Chains A and B, each alone.
Chain A
Amino acid sequence: AQTVTQSQPEMSVQEAETVTLSCTYDTSESDYYLFWYKQPPSRQMILVIRQEAYKQQNATENRFSVNFQKAAKSFSLKISDSQLGDAAMYFCAYSPINTGNQFYFGTGTSLTVIP
């Protein structure tokens, strides 16, 4: 079974500070992709960052970066210099190579940014 666990239902961060959101996944596959999506109050899902499992280098996208630990099956998201617009639900997603591009989502972390 493929499962994605986000153990932090809610997180908060002071504006301009850094916050890390946790994600772990369970799989027996060796090739897969990992994603972080953001869902603001508008409810639209927005891709934040994508990581390919065979790449050891952690993905970075401006203020967003990941800490990918393949052996530990951990994929945390770090948001630096947090802004008010970062307030949203954040979903971690896992997609194995051999399943027709199916995605498995975690239950989400609600991030509050404090001015």
Chain B
Amino acid sequence: DGGITQSPKYLFRKEGQNVTLSCEQNLNHDAMYWYRQDPGQGLRLIYYSQIVNDFQKGDIAEGYSVSREKKESFPLTVTSAQKNPTAFYLCASSMGRGNQPQHFGDGTRLSIL
């Protein structure tokens, strides 16, 4: 079955540590996205990529980094520069044209130890 896989489901980070959230899709989608979800704030765009080896900052990119070396993969690194990383992170993908709906993974909950 085609879909988006995010791992791990739960992740804990120590102060000053970088962590990487995985996102893999087998839908052959061109575009991929990372969102952060906080209570009462909906989904906020961190980074998005419309094509391999290219990505753009979203509204809250500070303290995060991404790479898009393969079409199927769009990992998100939460760096130590992100001072308030505790949140639920959602990865999504879409065909990238015609405003097709975004398909979402099951999310990763990141907490600080």
Q: Chain A interface (Cβ within 8 Å of chain B)?
A: 4, 6, 9, 32-33, 35, 42-47, 50, 91, 95, 97, 100-103, 105-108
Contact = CB atoms under 8 A, between A and B. Distances in A.
Contacts of A106: 42
A107 B107 contact: no
8 contacts: A4-B42, A35-B101, A42-B106, A100-B31, A100-B48, A100-B56, A101-B50, A105-B44
Nearest to A106: B42
Contact of B100 (A42, A44, A101, A105): A101
B25 interface: no
Contacts of B106: 42-44
A107 B48 contact: no
B35 to A, nearest CB: 8
A45 B42 contact: no
Given A42-B106, A43-B107, A100 B96 contact: yes
A1 B88 CA distance: 25
Nearest to A53: B99
Contacts of B100: 101
Contacts of B97: 101
A28 to B, nearest CB: 17
A101 B40 contact: no
Contacts of A100: 31, 48, 50, 56, 96
Given A101-B94, A102-B48, A43 B88 contact: yes
B40 A107 contact: yes
B42 A44 contact: no
Contact of B101 (A32, A50, A102): A50
